[in-house]
Chains A and B, each alone.
Chain A
Amino acid sequence: MADPSAVAHAPGLSIAESPVAVSLLRVRSPDTGLTTALGDAFGLEWPTRPNTVGEGRVRAAWLAPGEWALFDAAEVLAAPVTAALGERLHHLSDVSAGRRLWRVEGERARELLAKGCGLDIHPRSFPPGSCAQTVLAQVAILLIAPGGDGAFSIIADATLAAHLRLWFAEAVQEFIA
């Protein structure tokens, strides 16, 4: 399943699932010198505030203190990360094979997600450039607020993909009728 596959459609709503290229970067006690170097390496303002996303040559999402998700192929990420961090002990692991991505877009996307997610995702409290690790349909997810592309991104464990696929298919029903 190389291409995004449609999970469900409804008026004002589309949900597509695809593989995702993502690596996790961990650094102990990151300082501003280090985050600046990382930001420069990828041409973005590095997300140092909790639950924010930086967009440049890659998309970087804050996960925890000293931990980020970087959305690109592992081969692309390795060299700039190594160059930026130099001798600093760090850990970059490709977890692409273990994750799936859902893109939920449309004017009713927020309504749909609210059926399984307790987080307030109104743009007032979850503006573009926000991300959150939370729960959707009892599954731990990374939720990224719609940016220029207008779609919520949801990243979850591949082992739980079948469950989420079914949940989306069922949750979308009320929007079809």
Chain B
Amino acid sequence: MLLIPCPWCGPRDETEFRCGGQSHIQRPEPYGAVGDQAWSDYLFTRANPKGAGRERWVHAFGCRQWFNLVRDTRTHEIAAVYPMGAPPAEIAAETGR
């Protein structure tokens, strides 16, 4: 079980949280000029990092606040927690493919 540091409530069990998937997905604009490819990327294409990734989580059974965190998909290590609306957190060594 992960111990997730909620920015409001402190460390809590993973079961109190829900994951909202990848953070910082921008809706393409302007509406009329978005092509099919850009739109389908926006809807369906997600990063699948082996290593640190930025995710949205909500403390569903606690304060019900959303926040971002950086989690390593191999080790589950949580490197950073930061509020919604903040710029994407730096990731030390991006290990994409």
Contacts and interface: CB of A to CB of B under 8 A. Distances in A.
Nearest to A49: B8
A140 B63 CA distance: 11
Contact of A65 (B12, B61, B62, B65): B65
A64 B12 contact: no
A133 B59 CA distance: 10
Provide the main secondary structure of the chain B interface.
loop
A5 interface: no
A65 B8 contact: yes
Contacts, number: 34
A135 interface: yes
B41 interface: no
Provide the main secondary structure of the chain A interface.
strand
How many interface residues does chain A have, given as a range? 10 to 19
Contacts of B10: 50-51
B15 A63 contact: no
B77 interface: no
B8 A134 contact: no
Contacts of A134: 12, 16, 61-62
B13 interface: yes
Interface of A: 50-51, 63-65, 118-119, 132-135, 140
